[in-house]
Structure 1
Amino acid sequence: MNPIAGHPGTAAGTVAVVASRIRLEEKALLDALSRRAVDSEVVDDRSIVYRVGAPRPRWRAVLNRSLSATRRLEVSRWCAAVGVPVLNTPETVALCDNKIATAFALDRARVPTPDTVVSLAPSSGGRAADEVGYPAVVKPVNGSWGRGLARVGDRETAETLFGLRDQLASPSQKLTCVQEFVPGRDLRVLVVGGSAVAAMARESDDWVRNVALGSTAVPRRLDDSLVELAERSAAAVGGGVLGVDLLETDDGRLFVLEVNSAVEFRGLGEANPGVSVADAIVDHLLRETVS
């Protein structure tokens, strides 16, 4: 259906799962809702049409699972505007989907991160890399699944990369975060409603270790230092359902790389078979909403 605001087609108490595609994660969330006898409805984010100023849809809450960063923000913005509780809020989505905004939020919370320098144009990217030092990691301001990441070892390589970025069409693609390259173990911690639920390490021969790119997920114990840092990082961007990405060095130091608002949790679940991530998310949503 096209969920036009005020449309009588949805029943009070229904949880809408707004998604671009029904993957394993969305199926798990729908199953968790069903086991709790909560009515649910799948809404394709591309089908949404709403009238500004119209009454709210009769949804208890929305799980925003949109794959598109642009639509993800607009779904959450619409829900917040009409008073439908949504995970995650538009403020959190906006912070997490912009690496510059995330960097500022983590810095305000005094969360340890690799040294980060921002360049607002490709012409100044070389200077940003020089400030960080080599090797440096060049990141697009927007993006996920490790796309657009590059590790550069010297100024000449950096200038070549930034010259290519200057040819990109979108102004936002010419903004860049340059981070210090910190060797270490790649970790992901899921934080739901302010509490760390589970963690994993991602192992790969490549330095980019996203599970979506083929890395192997293995369990990681949630010790006190990891819990404290992950929960503080999640709070820094407004809380909700969040994936905190960290690096753990050989001497035990932890650095936060990113906080993700569009959490894929298949790998985390496989690494932690005793933890139901979908149940944790749904229980949090139901605690925070009223039928």
Structure 2
Amino acid sequence: MKPEDFDYVAQMLKTRSGLVLTKDKSYLLESRLMPVARKRGFKGLDDLVAQLRRRDEALAADVTEAMTTNESFFFRDMKPFEQFRDVVLPNLIKTRAAKKSFRIWCAAASSGQEPYSLAIILKEASARLQGWRTEIVGTDISREILQKARAGLYSQFEVQRGLPIQLMVKYFKKKEDQWEIDPALRAMVQYKEWNLLQDLRGLGQFDVIFCRNVLIYFDQPTKSMVLDNMSKQLADDGVLYLGGAETVLGISDKFKPIPGQRGVYAVNKPGAPANGASLGVAAV
């Protein structure tokens, strides 16, 4: 790919999705865009970029979709899910007892394994949640990957990756060469196409936000903007989960690390409980 074409596509991707591509990733760009070029009937990437320069919105959407990273698996890294199950959920039940409801947002939900993992945790706690209204919202920029998430169909490899066998047998049913998640679990998650660079107010307020392994693809100003916007959608005593390699330090002053809880952050604003104490996630 010509350097000027790479620069054009990289800038377009950053504007549309926040994704930052350095020149050493040109091989990645080329490998992911060649299938798009073939599908569209272009002779090569030169023709594809030429069409992009004509402001072809449908092609730009296809290119953005092709470059979206959709790596996900059930109970990824496990510890955040154990922490949610053992610490945050019991305290949500305690602090939200009056209204008997709470909302969870999985940003960049990909093919659905993260929100369905949380749905399984809530289902396992159903005896304690009788009469409660719980909502899990999964968002992603990719329309195609959201279709897969909504379908709740996974390959043998996907269900074996991170999903304990007892939970697989309990909540999945074999359907030809795939595994289908229990319809009751699928109904617990609402999926929406949403760009994290957009205004987030349309999503409403949340008690817990999972935004794991997403910010690593953004530059610092974009990370700061996304975190600042998320802080406005999170309850004052809410909890934000980031990936193990991600941090808010030096990026945003709207969140603060919770001592002793790696990757878990509390809202940092006047009147907010210290260290997320009301959700019971202060250092133990």
| TM-score calculated relative to the size of structure 2 | 0.27
More helix by share: 2
More strand by share: 1
